[in-house]
Structure 1
Amino acid sequence: MKSQVSDERPPRRPPVGGPCTTPPLIERDREQRLFGELAAALGAGRSALVDVHGAPGLGRSTLLEHAADLAREAGVRVAAAQASWEETDLRLGVVAQLTAALAPAVVDLPPAHDPRPRPGLTAELCHAFLRAARTHPLMIVVDDVQWADTPSLRWLQALARRLSAAPLLLLTARSTVTPAGPDDRVEVRTLDDGRAVARHTLDLSPLSADGVGRMLADAFREPAEPAFRDAAARVTDGNPAVLRAVAARFARHGWKPRVDHLPHLTDSAAEVVRERAARTLTALPGELLDVLRAIAVCGPAATADTVAAVAAPRTMSTRRALELLCGTGLLTGPDRPAFREPKAADVVLARMSAERREELYARAAERAQRAAVPDGALAGMLLGARVLGASWAVDVLRREAARHRATRRPAEAARLLQRALREPMAPHLRVRTLAELAAAVLPSAPEAADRHLRQALLTPADAAAGPAWVRAADLLVARGDVGAAQPLIAQVAARPQLRAPEQAALRALYWLSEHGQCDTAHALDRPPMPPLADHPEHPAEAAVAAWRAALQGRDIARTRRLARTALAPAAAGTTPLAAQAAACCALVLADDFTAAHAGLDAVLLRAEHADARAVAGATLVIRALARLYEGRPDEASAALDRAQELMPPHCWHPRMTSLLVALKALIYLENGNVPNAERSIGLARADCAEGGIGWAFLLYARGRTRLAAGHRDRALADLLECGRLLLARQAANPALLPWRSAAAAARGSDPHDGTAAALLAEERRLALSWGAPGVLARTLFATGGTGGPALLRPGTATPAGWQYRQALVALATAPLSGPDTIGPLLSSQVRAGEAEAPGPEHPPAEDTAPPARTPAPHGALTGAELRVATLAVQGLANRAIAAELAVTPRTVELHLTKVYRKLGIRGRPELADALGRAPRENP
């Protein structure tokens, strides 16, 4: 910490009971030796000029006092003066102090208030002091010569040119924060006979770590620990004045210079600097205070011209005011003025009333805007300014907030957006700013983020606010606050000024939020909203229709088609991100993982670009679910961890936290880590909202965990409640959660348990109806390929039936075409407590059809089936048909099996008659 303070003369005696505060001269041996030599030479008639330079607090005044003491010990007469910025305009103020020290007075000085210079006064004063030096060697000491009034400075310059005429030592001290200009230097003159007056310039440097250690040892009467000494040298910048004040503060509190008091060291150093700056401020005149306040409000944009326009000093130039303030140690320099200690700016502004401070910030901002100051500095001024009522202020604040959000500084962005909302702005711009503010405050105050989004939806505006309303609703639904979002979205969607794309997007978000409700609402309690069409035209509604169809387990081909429509590049501009994420989830349930991950990548990229943390987090959660369904628990865990980094648990709505806990537990179960799954379930937040899809996931995960731990009754209760919640929302698809087979496993291994058999049969029927390969494989494995309730747990080996083996072959060789791919192979319909499939030892022979059924007209055959049947009638073998149609032999077998079933025949010999026509290829 750079510590610069104004010079103050320290007390000559320490306070009772405190450390020694008499200023010691540490690491100033060279300077003391020089003063001793000069005092001795002065007695021999050799004059000298010495300039001492140093920053405030480095001990210039103390060094001058020691030099005066050495001179007196050598028999030299001393006349000392202390210049100060308060008396800078007092004519001959320094000369008056020096003449008083040479009592009786050597010259009668004119009154200080007399502005008229007396002719010949400078020469008269020089002769008087030279005459006194010839009588007795004389040392003239002027401290803080940078504050000397102009007549006194001109006299010192004249005296310096005459030092060789008498044994006179002129010693001056100057602060380095106010360097001497060309007209302010005190120079000596070389004599004609070649003799010169010695001149010395002493530049004081901060104390080293060893010097700080010596000073601490003198103050506390005990050595400081090395680590404390090094830290003290760093935080005080080796400044003796600050170090003495810190030692005094330590003594008052009874602290010792040890490592365990390092936190007190930093706080004490900062407090000392603030106190010394505050003492300096109390003595400043109002005009200089105004200049300091202008610098404080302008901040990094402060220049001499800007300060002049804001402060408008009346009795002195801005340049002179800055030079005076630099001399106090408060500022760094007059060209680019800034506070050496940033907290001093707060002290300066704290002495103003709130109204005056806001007005000063407003003047500074208006001046800076005309001067084209960068947005960063201008926004800092606007934060403290009153309401300006200018559109440029809103633009600056929003641009700077966007920059902070892009650089991951949401707290600063939130402050700027909150200030922007105080300004008058167009309604559509207010809606957009509220949505931006919600995104900025989400990491720290998620409930406040929801409030801002709800306020954005409630703000009336024209059609220009449509995209902003959609964004607000999108963020609200993505975080999980669907209970409050749904009626507000319906209210906004009913506004007549909305364009058709925004209305469709809002309708989609409304129906998307339906499945997140804690309890299904009665139709009369719902806001008026057009029903969601089965075949919507708008991509946003297609996304939600795909998600709904996937939950219901209906028509996998249509589900995939709707989801791809919603994820098409052309739909990106009009489809909310949450709706596209739902479309990706529908593809996950349809086992179309390639398209799902491509869509998730696109949605995640858009969400991160739009700073939609909630959508990005939800997208990563869906990715974790997809990886889990793919059997990749490690990748699922990585995706879930990334989601929680982006959206920590406290940022989610309670309805979503249950889903996060459930996924983590299911990942542990997939890895066989039951204890960690139990711990994960136990860490579920107490405020996890019950109801909704997320709660169903948690119940399923808890049921599976309890089942793995052997608690069947409790597991069964959780799994059945999970099913109740899902069925209440028409989420019957076992691809989402296979709770039925898990509940059947929880009932036990009784082969005559009709309830378990019914659960397994229902899950198998729904899986066959849906037709996704993954859920089919899981369901067939759970049922063991037979109609009986084979209750499997992970790790249990069960013989595979012929239907199960044939199903796996079909899944490996056939395209993803829905239930028709595998349904014909599994013709046995399982009922509760009934199994009718043949055993594994009696597989059907090739080209053997199922039992005869009611024949179907050949027009019911699909085009692919008719082509395969035609080639078969022509006498081609299965492999030849496969080569002709560029498909696998297994696909030919499957098509022929379907043909036989539809036509009610038993094999190829009956095929030609059943087709009812001569063998030829169907076009």
Structure 2
Amino acid sequence: MALVERNSELRALMSLFASCARGTGGVAVIVGETATGKTALLDAFGELVTAAGGRVLSATGSPVERDVPLAIVRQLVQRAALAPEVDAQVAGLLAQAAQPEPARPADPVRPRGVHALGNALLDLADAGPLVLSVDDVQHTDSASLDCLCHVIRRVRSARVLVVLTEQPRPSADLSSVHAELFSQPHFRRIRLAPLSQHGVARLLVKHLGEPLGRRLAPACVAAVGGNPLLVRALIEDNRTAGAGAGSSAAGDELTTGDAFGQAVLTYLHRADTLTLAVARAIAVLGDLSSPALLGRLLDIDADTVAREIHALTEGGLLAAGRFRHAATRSIVLHALSPAARAGLHRRVAQLLHDEGASAMLVSQHLFAVEDTKDAWAADVLREAAEQQLDNDHVDTAIECLDRARQFCADERTLAEITAVRARATWRVSPSAAARHLGQLRTAMRQGLLCRSSVTAMLGDLLWFGRLDEAAEAFEWIRESVHAADNRGADELRIIGLWLSCTHPRFLARLPRQDTTAVAEQMGPAVTIDPQFQAVAVLAATLSRGADEDLVTGAEQVLQLSRLTDRTLGRVKVALMALIYADQLDKAAHWSNVLLREASGRQAPTWQGMLAAVRATVSFRRGDLAAAADEVTWSFHRISPRAWGVAVGLPLANLVLALTAMGRYDEAAAQLRMPVPDVMFQTRFGLHYLQARGQYFLATGHAQAALGDFLACGEMAVSWNMDLPALVPWRSDAATAWLRLGKPERARKLVEDQLTKLGAEPSRSHGLSLRVLATTLDPSERPRLLIRAAEELRASGDRLELARALAELSWAHEALGEHGRARATGRQAWAAARDCGAQPLCAKLLPDPTDADLAVPLQVTSDEQPAAALTDAELRVATLAAQGKTNRQIAHTLYITVSTVEQHLTRVYRKLSVQRRTDLAPCLPLNEPDRV
């Protein structure tokens, strides 16, 4: 390739050669960093000298020949094409010079022989002007340097021009040469600068054509500066890739390929050993690279580091202390042997650890180490895993833990690493996490686990119903708490409270826990550990019912808890406390907030659990399709088998929703799904029994339904969980007794339930009033049913509202009040239709052609047509009005696209609009609790 931006340098050399031809010799030194074009300039100059009738003898220094006596001189004379007699004379001189002086046996060559060789080179100028060129003179052996100095001292009166190339940082070996150089009147030092962007563009245009060459020029300069070797390599790669002039495949992206890789390796091979070492160290350090850290890593002083960084910058590899192009760093790294690369990473890790760098930074280098005996490495990787989990990088956290196990020799540390890995795996798959339980139990028995790890293991064992092992873990925790261990005592009370709320039968087999007093004392002003507060709120709600203080306490927990592995448990507990307190709007708001938070994080288990909680809210608000969709979505995140004993909650909501929608075959299929026997010893079993009883009731098996409801009640009473908002087993059983023709028994049960609830309006109270009304004479029913409907409408449960309105319609009909019956029946049918409760719709409208009854429910508010929408419909309508597609809405709300379409169809009909662009004026400006 033709030279670019080197014309002034060539002119300076040719001027020296012209003086040489006239009989006045000289010396030139071309100075430039590795691969900046010194050799190309020498070659171009040699061609001009030859064309002008001169003679060129050239040699190239090499690190491998630096200790070979007279290696450079031999190259020069071998290329001289000497006459036979002269060649024999020079060969004799070389042999003579290579013999040490007798008086100076330590000298490798004879000085007089070296001088004779220098005279022989000078004599070659008798035939015409002579150029002696030595490339990379810094690699010249000492004997050849002596010979060159002998020639340089005599060039002023000879037709000899000596041209040398060297790097800007000459070695001490060249001091004698430099002394001779600077004493010469015809000495020129020629400094080669990198190519400018204009020069790079000229090369690119010449070989890649217009306009591609000019478009690629800025990227090329950014990648390699103005290093001619690297620029030419990029030209070759881009031409090979089809980006040549006139090519239809030409593009604007700079390609780095084999030629570029080879050019970088050539650069490194020709660079000084220290320069190469600094380049490798920067490649390993990456963004952590700094002069101070490089100096400590390579055991060199700061000035030396600065010089080497400057050299690599001038050479086009670095900018601001970093590799200009990612490909360059990759090439440098992969040129290292695996052992050398691992060794560098190990030293970097040690340095960073000693300086107190973050575990995540240190761990990046430990990943490149196959093995280490450093005891701190496993601890660092474990800490890094914890940080990665906090940042939701679960896969990376697990990789850190697996690598930590490779480095760990301490059994206690190894056990804790396994505990953290189980927690990390749980976030993705509870079933996979269960595989660690055997190892953890063994470690516990050997005294290798801390109390928090055993507590986490206890929760996992109970989740999968492994009660004997859970009892052993609890006993270990209890024995670990000593008299003065206040924190341990608090932790033990938290566990006891949690067990009383979730696994009461398991708690009964343990040493007695004093948890009731704590639960009874809960109030909003109590500032305690959030975990303690959450379980105490739930325990108090289940044991004595909800009040304002308990609701406030649950919300405080949710407000103060960022979603993490450690807070997930208390968040779920607080949400369930709100649900059992009949605070469905608050529970809906917080479950939506938490699900949105979980959706952007690598935590399928969190998402599945929170979706199951939201399904509970959706069913209790009468949004049957949403409840079913949310449970289905939850089961896609956590398979039913992986749910363990907790499967009772999502499965119950799915069966309840399917049953209410009349999809009995699907509900039956869910009930045929195997569930753990231990589930019936937990709170989740109560939900399951209620759902199964409702299925039996709906399909005409009242006696079987009654059995499930009474079994549910027996357990709830014995467990001190006799809360109608948990499972209204009395009103359910009362409905079954009515089907069996026992209204007195039914009335007694539901009256007992109302006594437990008190007089405060709530969803549970309204539901109880509805069932009580059905046990009375038709003339007594309307008063209670109207009150029930008001309370259910206020609670937001549209399914129970539809049932109450249906009962009211039938009561009016029984009393001969046909107009009231039809008006109320119309409202009941509309509410049931919006819920998707097809069996109730069919009972209200046996004849689908009865168009009068099928008139939609009318909204009395002139200002807010959206009041006719259910909460689910309002959520869908709001997102649609914002311009989101059906698929985006489904993803945001965790429902199917089909459900979105169904909701929108009903929204359009209720609001009397034709398209989603008409929705915005009909929707409320701000109803966060509903949306």
Q: TM-score range by the shorter chain?
A: 0.5 to 0.7
Provide the residue aligned with 1:418 in structure 2.
402
Structure 1 position 788 matched with structure 2 position 768: no
Question: Which residues of 2 match residues 821-836 of structure 1 at below 5 A?
Answer: none
Question: Which residues of 2 match residues 615-634 of structure 1 at below 5 A?
Answer: 615=569, 618=572, 629-632=583-586, 633-634=588-589
**How far did residue 723 of structure 1 move?**
2.3
Amino acid at match of 2:552: T
Q: Deviations over 1:149-182 (max 9, x none)?
A: 2343455466556554445443333346xx2246
Secondary structure in structure 2 of the residue aligned to 1:569: coil
Distance in 2 (CA, whole Å) between partners of 1:350 and 1:688 is 42
Amino acid at match of 1:590: A
Given candidates 464, 467, 473, the residue that maps to 2:451 is 467
Secondary structure in structure 2 of the residue aligned to 1:184: helix
Given candidates 531, 541, 546, the residue that maps to 1:590 is 546
Provide the residue aligned with 2:65 in structure 1.
87
Structure 1 position 433 matched with structure 2 position 417: yes
Provide the residue aligned with 2:135 in structure 1.
143
Provide the residue aligned with 2:464 in structure 1.
483
Distance in 2 (CA, whole Å) between partners of 1:762 and 1:58 is 100
Relative to structure 1, the CA distance from residue 331 to residue 399 in structure 2 (aligned partners, 3 Å threshold; closer, same or farther) is: farther
Contact 1:515–1:693 under 8 Å retained in 2: no
Contact 2:648–2:688 under 8 Å retained in 1: no
Q: Deviations over 1:417-448 (max 9, x none)?
A: 43443456554433222223444566677765
Q: Deviations over 1:247-303 (max 9, x none)?
A: 55566666769998879956x44x656556778999999999999999999997986
Amino acid at match of 2:640: A
Structure 1 position 735 matched with structure 2 position 725: yes
Structure 1 position 458 matched with structure 2 position 442: yes
Given candidates 682, 700, 723, the residue that maps to 2:691 is 723
**How far did residue 597 of structure 1 move?**
2.7
Structure 1 position 660 matched with structure 2 position 610: yes
Q: Deviations over 1:59-88 (max 9, x none)?
A: 332232122212222333222111112212
Q: Deviations over 1:450-506 (max 9, x none)?
A: 4345522332555563415424416747xxx81166554334345599424779968
Given candidates 212, 232, 251, the residue that maps to 1:224 is 212
Secondary structure in structure 2 of the residue aligned to 1:79: strand
**How far did residue 593 of structure 1 move?**
1.8
Relative to structure 1, the CA distance from residue 77 to residue 62 in structure 2 (aligned partners, 3 Å threshold; closer, same or farther) is: same
Amino acid at match of 2:76: L
Question: Which residues of 2 match residues 533-612 of structure 1 at below 5 A?
Answer: 536-537=513-514, 542=515, 560-561=519-520, 569=528, 590-591=546-547, 592-600=550-558, 604=561, 612=566
Provide the residue aligned with 2:894 in structure 1.
none
Distance in 2 (CA, whole Å) between partners of 1:213 and 1:362 is 39
Question: 5+ unaligned residues in a row in structure 1: which ranges?
Answer: 1-22, 310-317, 547-557, 791-797, 812-829, 836-923
Question: Which residues of 2 match residues 269-308 of structure 1 at below 5 A?
Answer: 269=257
Distance in 2 (CA, whole Å) between partners of 1:759 and 1:76 is 126
Distance in 1 (CA, whole Å) between partners of 2:37 and 2:543 is 76
Relative to structure 1, the CA distance from residue 805 to residue 217 in structure 2 (aligned partners, 3 Å threshold; closer, same or farther) is: closer
**How far did residue 337 of structure 1 move?**
14
Provide the residue aligned with 1:350 in structure 2.
338
Distance in 1 (CA, whole Å) between partners of 2:727 and 2:32 is 77
The number of residue pairs the alignment matches comes to: 714
Contact 1:47–1:163 under 8 Å retained in 2: yes
Structure 1 position 200 matched with structure 2 position 189: yes
Amino acid at match of 1:457: R
Distance in 2 (CA, whole Å) between partners of 1:741 and 1:28 is 98
Distance in 2 (CA, whole Å) between partners of 1:744 and 1:94 is 110
Relative to structure 1, the CA distance from residue 800 to residue 135 in structure 2 (aligned partners, 3 Å threshold; closer, same or farther) is: farther
Distance in 2 (CA, whole Å) between partners of 1:103 and 1:149 is 23
Contact 1:702–1:715 under 8 Å retained in 2: yes
Distance in 2 (CA, whole Å) between partners of 1:87 and 1:125 is 19
Question: Which residues of 2 match residues 178-197 of structure 1 at below 5 A?
Answer: 179-181=169-171, 184=174, 187=178, 196-197=185-186
Distance in 2 (CA, whole Å) between partners of 1:29 and 1:769 is 105
Provide the residue aligned with 1:637 in structure 2.
592
Contact 2:69–2:144 under 8 Å retained in 1: yes
Distance in 1 (CA, whole Å) between partners of 2:190 and 2:38 is 13
Amino acid at match of 2:513: P
Contact 1:76–1:136 under 8 Å retained in 2: yes
Contact 2:754–2:768 under 8 Å retained in 1: no
**How far did residue 569 of structure 1 move?**
3.4
Secondary structure in structure 1 of the residue aligned to 2:212: coil
Q: Deviations over 1:389-421 (max 9, x none)?
A: 664554555456556666766656544543443
Question: Which residues of 2 match residues 69-218 of structure 1 at below 5 A?
Answer: 69-104=47-82, 108-110=93-95, 116-120=108-112, 123-133=115-125, 136-153=128-145, 155-156=147-148, 159=151, 163-175=155-167, 179-181=169-171, 184=174, 187=178, 196-206=185-195, 208=197, 214-218=202-206
Given candidates 492, 498, 503, the residue that maps to 2:473 is 492
Provide the residue aligned with 2:841 in structure 1.
none
**How far did residue 698 of structure 1 move?**
3.7
Given candidates 329, 333, 337, the residue that maps to 1:341 is 329
Q: Which has the higher helix share?
A: 2
**How far did residue 689 of structure 1 move?**
0.8
Secondary structure in structure 2 of the residue aligned to 1:788: helix
Percent identity between the two aligned chains: 21
Distance in 1 (CA, whole Å) between partners of 2:334 and 2:264 is 11
Amino acid at match of 2:546: A
- Greater CA deviation, 720-729 or 362-371? 362-371
Relative to structure 1, the CA distance from residue 398 to residue 803 in structure 2 (aligned partners, 3 Å threshold; closer, same or farther) is: closer
Secondary structure in structure 2 of the residue aligned to 1:465: coil
Secondary structure in structure 1 of the residue aligned to 2:134: strand
Contact 1:54–1:204 under 8 Å retained in 2: yes
Distance in 1 (CA, whole Å) between partners of 2:77 and 2:623 is 93
Contact 2:281–2:294 under 8 Å retained in 1: no
Q: What's the TM-score once normalised by structure 2's chain length?
A: 0.58
Structure 1 position 648 matched with structure 2 position 629: no
Q: Deviations over 1:19-60 (max 9, x none)?
A: xxxx34344454445445554555455655444444444433
- Greater CA deviation, 48-57 or 699-708? 699-708
The root-mean-square deviation of aligned C-alpha atoms, in Å, is: 6.4
Distance in 1 (CA, whole Å) between partners of 2:367 and 2:274 is 25
Provide the residue aligned with 1:59 in structure 2.
37
Distance in 1 (CA, whole Å) between partners of 2:789 and 2:322 is 82
**How far did residue 561 of structure 1 move?**
1.8
Amino acid at match of 2:48: L
Contact 2:379–2:413 under 8 Å retained in 1: no
Distance in 1 (CA, whole Å) between partners of 2:434 and 2:446 is 22
Relative to structure 1, the CA distance from residue 388 to residue 199 in structure 2 (aligned partners, 3 Å threshold; closer, same or farther) is: closer
Contact 2:132–2:162 under 8 Å retained in 1: yes
Contact 2:59–2:76 under 8 Å retained in 1: yes
Relative to structure 1, the CA distance from residue 561 to residue 780 in structure 2 (aligned partners, 3 Å threshold; closer, same or farther) is: closer
Relative to structure 1, the CA distance from residue 260 to residue 94 in structure 2 (aligned partners, 3 Å threshold; closer, same or farther) is: same
Distance in 2 (CA, whole Å) between partners of 1:743 and 1:39 is 115
Relative to structure 1, the CA distance from residue 336 to residue 246 in structure 2 (aligned partners, 3 Å threshold; closer, same or farther) is: closer
Q: Deviations over 1:307-333 (max 9, x none)?
A: 689xxxxxxxx99xx99x999999999
Amino acid at match of 1:688: S
Amino acid at match of 1:561: E
Question: 5+ unaligned residues in a row in structure 2: which ranges?
Answer: 101-106, 483-487, 671-686, 694-707, 717-721, 776-781, 796-806, 813-931
Contact 2:226–2:316 under 8 Å retained in 1: no
